[in-house]
Amino acid sequence: MYTSISVVSLALLGLAHAGGPIPQNINVKRATQTLKVDTTKPTDAFNVPADFVGFGIESAFLNNFHNAFSANLVSSLRKRMSVPPVVRVGGTSGDRFVFDPAQKEAKTCIGLPDGGKDCQQNSEAIYRLGPSFCEGYKAFPDARMSIQAPMQESPTPLNNTLAFVRCAWDARGGDANKVAAVALGNEPNFYKGTTAADYAKEALRVQKAVIDELGLKGDGRKFFEVANTASNDNAKFGVADVLNAGINKNKLSNSAADHYYQISRKHDWTDDEMQKLMLSHRAITERLQTRYGASIAKSREAGLPFVMSETAAVLGGAPLTFMSGFGYGLWAVDFGLACMARGVSRVANLAGRPVAGRVFWVPDETGGAKNPGPQVRAPYPAAIFLADFVGKTPGAVKELDLGVKDHPYLSAYAMYDAQQGGKLGRVALVNMRLYNGTRTPGDKRGVETFRVPVPQGVQSVKVRRLHADHGAAAMGFDFGGREHNVTWAGQQWSYSVDQGKGHGKVVEDEVKVQDGVAAVNVPDSEAVIVFMKKCH
């Protein structure tokens, strides 16, 4: 069944109170669009896994995250989900670990691949670990972690790889419920002289050794995340090639992973560029299709969950306004939703390493003055938004047609509740038009009104908002102070106020349904979820 939604842009100042409160400085007139939505689940909606939302940590810095603050942020996400989230522990550093059972120190830096010694924080650094490093794998009791088997050195010295995997596995209690997967290597498309077939062959050799080492039996052997390719510019091969090379012929993989960075080159980092390259539904969906489309399709065809195990809006070198401001948060919302709608099974959002700015939070003070911490950064609430959209009961998602082809800034997604006979349960509405609230003289902030058709019998809807007064320029309370707050349904997460537990009363608008339609306002640089209220 089809019903129409229209997106009406209003000229404004107080006109559209039906859709909830409108900020004061709204006075931009927009075009009108019409879109369509099924009020019951269409056959091509994707059944979203309950653990869609996760986080990612760079291997060598795991112990920086082994603290109450980071545990609270993971628990804050866990509470919104029906199952434990996955924390991916991986990356370049973990692929080069040298394990020394006799070393006292948890971690020492022994140089760079080119023989250089300038280790500190260099992403190419080679670390030697002692057994106490694995204490880090005791973090996050209410999450499942992944363990990365080091494969960078070719051929992989199995004794080293197995000693490390064993150490991490034991710290995790040797409990398959606490480990999501053993990942076979990292970004093999960057290994020197390695083809997809070379990687597949070597990964299968490591896989067999890990199965023997951990004593995995029967279905318990289906425990491996493969590929973890980086499909950035000029990737030699991707997930589809690795699957074509036969890596999952033995059916012992449980996921195929890829890495995604929206902006991977240097830019001038202006607001215009942020709008064009990051806060753009068109840029996100085009990149997803051109670089990942074939791999997602191939994985789904093979019945293998496709995971974005390392993701960020920017690769690096950008100012913090790009790397950990609310613009990144809005990007993360639309990226997550667009991935769900295209059959991606999980997205890991970066917590990264303490020195990196492109993160959801900074775990401690070791990033120094350049990247101060501990701090929750502005993107973090995007993870909670996505988890609340997925919800606690199984659901299926479908991107909604906005009526105009490829609208650059607006997007809309429907979530159908499997347990309600596939009824429309929630609608996410995203307005990525860039509003920068720190400019003088002030920017004008526009608003879009989405007309959302609701299932029969629904008399009103609840609207929850991912909001910042400063729009895309908000840096979050911990970094930017009280003018830079980012709230999800009125709630906030902060190191200094709540150690990451979250605080504040839930704020939501109620919008009355008229003629089967709820008119919902979404200001520029804001995203909302519309919840269908149960009818009585």
Residues making contact with ligand NAG (CB under 6 A): 99, 157, 159-160, 163, 271, 274, 321, 325, 327, 436, 438-439, 472-473, 477, 482, 485, 492, 497
> For residues 163 and 307, which CB has a smaller minimum distance to ligand NAG in the complex?
163
> Facing residues of 225 across strands?
183, 255
Length of the chain: 536
Burial class of residue 58 in the structure, from the number of CB atoms within 10 Å of its CB (0-12 exposed, 13-18 middle, 19+ buried): buried
**Closer residue to ligand NAG, CB minimum distance, 157 or 455:** 157
Half-sphere exposure of 254 (CA within 13 A, CB side): 14
The answer for residues whose C-beta is within 8 angstroms of residue 181's C-beta and 6 or more apart is: 146, 147, 223, 224, 225, 254, 255
Q: What are phi and psi of 114, to 5 degrees?
A: -90, 10
Structure tokens given for 303:
């019945």
Nearest CB to ligand NAG, comparing residues 157 and 394: 157
| CA–CA dist 37, 18 (Å, integer) | 21
Phi, psi of 466 (to 5 degrees): -95, 105
Query: Residue 312: in which H helix or E strand, if any?
Result: strand 306-314
Min CB(165)–ligand NAG separation in Å: 11
For residue 485, the Cα-to-chain-centroid distance in whole angstroms is 21
Please answer whether residues 71 and 365 qualify as being in contact, where contact means their C-beta atoms are separated by less than 8 angstroms: no
User: Cβ neighbours of residue 211 under 8 Å, at least 6 residues apart?
Assistant: 221, 252
Cβ proximity to ligand NAG: between 410 and 473 the closer is: 473
In the complex, least distance from residue 248 CB atom to ligand NAG, rounded to whole angstroms: 29
**Smallest gap from residue 64 Cβ to ligand NAG (A):** 24
Place of tokens 């480990």: 179
| Closest distance to ligand NAG from the beta carbon of 82 (Å) | 28
Contact indicator for 160, 150 with CB cutoff of 8 Å: yes
Considering the complex, state which of residue 308 and residue 489 has its C-beta at the smaller distance from ligand NAG. Answer: 489
Nearer to ligand NAG by Cβ, of 35 and 151: the residue is 151
Give the nearer residue to ligand NAG in terms of CB position, either 397 or 468. Answer: 468
Q: How far is the CB of 11 from ligand NAG (least distance, A)?
A: 25
Nearer to ligand NAG, 439 or 512 (CB): 439
Q: Which of 209, 242, 246, 211 is nearest to 228 (CA)?
A: 242
Q: Least Å distance between CB 124 and ligand NAG?
A: 22
- Beta carbon nearer to ligand NAG, 327 or 354: 327
Q: What letter represents residue 520's amino acid?
A: V
Q: Taking the complex as a whole, how short is the minimal distance between the CB of residue 485 and ligand NAG, in angstroms?
A: 4
Specify the residue, 253 or 321, whose C-beta has the smaller distance to ligand NAG.
321
Q: Identify which of residues 141 and 442 has a Cβ nearer to ligand NAG in the complex.
A: 442
CA dist., res. 223 & res. 211, Å (int): 9
Min dist CB 470 to ligand NAG, Å, is 8
- What's the closest the beta carbon of residue 496 comes to ligand NAG, in angstroms? 8
CB of 469 to ligand NAG, least distance (A): 7
Residue 452 C-beta: closest distance to ligand NAG, Å: 28
Find the shortest distance in angstroms from Cβ 477 to ligand NAG.
Answer: 5
281-319 burial by CB neighbour count: b if 16+ within 10 A, else e?
A: bebbbebbeebbeebbebbbebebbbbbbbbbbbbeebe
Q: Where are the beta strands (DSSP E) in 69-143?
A: 86-90, 98-99, 107-111, 126-129
The 10 Å Cβ neighbour count of residue 366 is 15
Minimal CB distance residue for ligand NAG: 473
Indicate the residue among 190 and 269 with the shorter CB distance to ligand NAG.
269
Which CB, 158 or 176, lies closer to ligand NAG? 158
Sheet of 447-453, strands arranged across: 32-38, 2-9, 447-453, 517-523
Least distance in Å: CB of 73 to ligand NAG? 16
Q: At what angle do helices 196-214 and 158-171 cross, to 10 degrees?
A: 50
For residue 216, give the amino acid letter. Answer: L
Closest among 153, 147, 253, 256 to 202, alpha carbons compared: 153
